[in-house]
Amino acid sequence: AQSVAQPEDQVNVAEGNPLTVKCTYSVSGNPYLFWYVQYPNRGLQFLLKYITGDNLVKGSYGFEAEFNKSQTSFHLKKPSALVSDSALYFCAVRDPNDYKLSFGAGTTVTVRA
């Protein structure tokens, strides 16, 4: 079985400060890991993925994430947050031998001006 935990329901930061959204996962094999962002009444937009290779992956809108196998984590980061980054963020995992992507419960990010 595969699962994702996002331990924080909400993250609040000031504009210009670093943003971190935490994610830990559980999967039997080597994971495929993804981050998505969702704005109100919209579908999910893909931000970045880790499949293999360099543990630090860069994605859209200045976001990056670091894969840490020993801690089974895949935290999302942005060095300088913008008000427009305020949204709902989902971490997701897929076992390469499975079809489905399993999502965490989401973290609401609020960036204040």
Partner 1 sequence: DTGVSQDPRHKITKRGQNVTFRCDPISEHNRLYWYRQTLGQGPEFLTYFQNEAQLEKSRLLSDRFSAERPKGSFSTLEIQRTEQGDSAMYLCASRKGPRSPLHFGNGTRLTVT
Could you say which residues in the range 82-111 bind partner 1, by CB under 8 A? Answer: 90, 92, 96, 99-106
Q: Of 14 and 51, which CB lies nearer to partner 1 in the complex structure?
A: 51
In the 8-state DSSP scheme, what is residue 61?
G
Gap between the terminal Cα atoms of the chain: 41
Could you say which residues in the range 19-58 bind partner 1, by CB under 8 A? Answer: 32, 34, 36, 41-46, 49, 51
- C-beta separation of 80 from 18 below 8 A: yes
Amino acid at 44: L
Q: Which residues pair with 10 in a beta bridge?
A: 108
In the complex, the residues that contact partner 1 under the rule CB under 8 A are 4, 32, 34, 36, 41-46, 49, 51, 90, 92, 96, 99-106
